[in-house]
Structure 1
Amino acid sequence: MYNKLLNEFVKAVGGEIGEKAVKDSIEGLMNNDERKKTYNFIKNNVIAEPFKYSRQELQDYLFTANFFSSLTTKKAPSNGFSVFIPVYGLYKLWEYNSNSTKWNYICESLDDLIKRRDLNEYEKILQDPNYQSKYFEGFPQLLNKFKNYNDENNFTEMAYLFVDYMDVHNLYRKESDSKKILDEYGKRLKMEENRLKRIKGTS
C-alpha cells in the first residue's frame, strides 16, 4: 500500500531519485483518500487479526503509522497544521486537523500488539523448546536471547524480560515512596517468575 511510496521516500533521502520523485511521493502519502484507506486497513485488518502477521510486518505498519503521526508538528492559524518534511527543507500547510489523534491510537495499538505477540511467542517456546517461530523471522537476536534463558532455566532473566515488556513499572509511576516502588516491583517479578515456571512445568 504505502510501502512503495515509503521506499521511494527513503531512497530519495539517500539521493537515489530526484526532487520531483520526492515531492510526488509526499503528495501521494498526504493524499487524504489514500491515508484513510491505510488507516482503515490497519484498524480493521491488522489490529483486528494480528496473528496473521509477522513481527516484521507489524513493525512495517507501525513505521507507516508513526510516519503519519509525526507529520504534524505545529498548529497553524488556519486550523490546519504546519508540517515539516525532512527533505530539502520542505514546509507545507496541510488541513490535517484532529486526524493525528487517530494515528496516535493506531501507533499505540500496534506497539502494544507487538509486545503481546512477542510474549505469546516466548510462552510457546517455554512450552515447547523445539517450537519454530515464524513470527520472529528476521529477529534472531530476540529469539536466541530468550532461547538461551530457556535452555538455562534462567527464570529470573525471563521474568525481567516479561515485566519490562509489560512496562509494569508505570503502574507505580505516581507512587512517591521509592522503597514501596521497589517492593512492589520485586513482588511483580517474583509472581512472573513463578508463572513462567508453571508454564514450563517446572514448579
Structure 2
Amino acid sequence: MRRRQEKEGDWQADNEARAGLRRRLNEAEDRLSPGQEAAPEAPPARPAVAGDEVELVKMGTRATVLTVNKDGVLQLQAGILKISARQEEVRVVEGESQTKKEAERFIRRTEHKLRTLGASPEVDLRGMTTDEAVGALDLFLDSAMLGKLTTVTVIHGKGTGAVRRAVHQRLKGNRYVASFRLGRYGEGEDGVTIVEMK
C-alpha cells in the first residue's frame, strides 16, 4: 500500500512538473508574440493604385492591385485568389516591381532563344487532313522563321496528293517563303517539299 502511495506521489509530481514547464513555455511565447506583432510597419509611401505590387501586412502575402473602389477598398490578385483589402492593410512594395519586370523581360528573351535553338528543320504532315496540315504548316513556318532556318523540309507523303496541293497553295501565299520545290532522289521525292526561307 505504501509503495502504491509513493508511485501516485511520483506520478502527481511528474504531472505538476510538466504543467509547470508548459506554463513557462506559454508565458515565454506570449512575451515574444506581442513584440513581433507590435513591430511597427513602415507606413506606405503612397496609397496603392491599380497595377501596384503590394504585401498584405498581416499575412505576409504578395498580391497585385487589380482595382481600387470609390470607398478605397482594393481588389487584389494573389496567385489564383482574389482578395479585398483596405489601404491600411497593405504595404506598397517599391522598387521590386522594376526588378520583376526586368526578370520577366529576361525570361521572354531566354524563351525566344530556346525556341530558336529548338526549331526543327522538318515537319511531318502525313496522316493529317488538309485543314490540319495547313494549320500545322503555318505554325512550323513561324517557328522556322523565328529559328532563322534557311531551308526546311515539309513531309506530306505521296497518297492522293490532296495534302501536297494544300501545302503548295499555302506556300505560294506565305510571306516567309522565298521558293519551294518537290524533293529530289534521296530527299523524299514527291513525298516532300523543300522550302527556301527568306
| Bucket of the pairwise TM-score, normalised by the shorter protein | under 0.3
More strand by share: 2
Structure number with bigger Rg: 2
TM-score with structure 1 setting the length: 0.27
- After TM superposition, the score normalised by the length of structure 2 is 0.28
Name whichever structure is richer in helix by fraction.
1
